[in-house]
Structures are given as structure tokens and as C-alpha cells.
Amino acid sequence: MSQNKRPDKKVYSLTEKGQRALTDQLRKAPGPDKNRSEFLAALLFAEAVSPDRVSDLVNERIEDHDTRIRSLEALLADDMSPASRFVLEYGVAMQKAALTYLRDHQDDLLAQITNPGEAAE
């Protein structure tokens, strides 16, 4: 593909064999999602750091989710395929759910690690 003042781009496409392999793979049920979160791993040890640090971690994650939501929503377009729209909106919904959880439970977490005996009552 020709470009002004740049080297030509290579355009790749699936071979017939590659298309069959993709189709065969897509017919299989996908495995469960894998969730690995350094944020959640850090929060497992929230009692080992100051409540201010925990608050900072949660607030940073809230900002991160806000940014991701805006970025994903900016990708939504009227001419998207139904499948692309579904996947993108699913991503937005997952980010919003995490954001809501953090906002709804941040104060409770901080109260529990600041005053462990009092928050449980």
C-alpha cells in the first residue's frame, strides 16, 4: 500500500489454510477469562501499608478506569459491525462495573484497615 513520504505498507491477509484454522478455532468454546491484577494482589496486603497509600492506590485505579471508559467510548462508531460494537460495549460495561465497585466500597475498605475492630461491628 503506497503512502506519502513513508515506506510502502505491507498488507497481510489470511491464506486459505489460515482461514480454515481460524474458523476451526472459533468453533471451539473459549476457555474461561484469565484475570491477573497487580492492583488486587497489592490490595491483599493493604494492612501492611498506610491507609493513605491504600487510598492512593484505589484513587489511581478509579482514574485509570475513568480513562479507559472514555477511550473505549471514543472508539464507538455508527458503522461498526454488530460483533465489534458488542465486544466494545462489553469492555465499557466491565470497566464501569469495576469503577462502580471501587467507588461504592473504597470508604468501607479504608475504615476497616484504619480501625479493624470498629469497622466489623
Domain of residue 81, residue span? 37-119
Residue 92 within any structural domain of the chain: yes
Q: What is the pTM of this model?
A: 0.78
Residue 25 within any structural domain of the chain: no
Residue 61 within any structural domain of the chain: yes
Total domain count, the chain? 1
Per-residue pLDDT reduced to its tens digit, 7-40: 878 888 999 999 999 999 999 999 999 999 999 9
Task: Give which of 93, 41, 10, 70 is closest to 49, Cα–Cα.
Answer: 41
Residue 24 within any structural domain of the chain: no
Region of 5 please: left (phi>0), alpha (psi -120 to 50) or beta: left
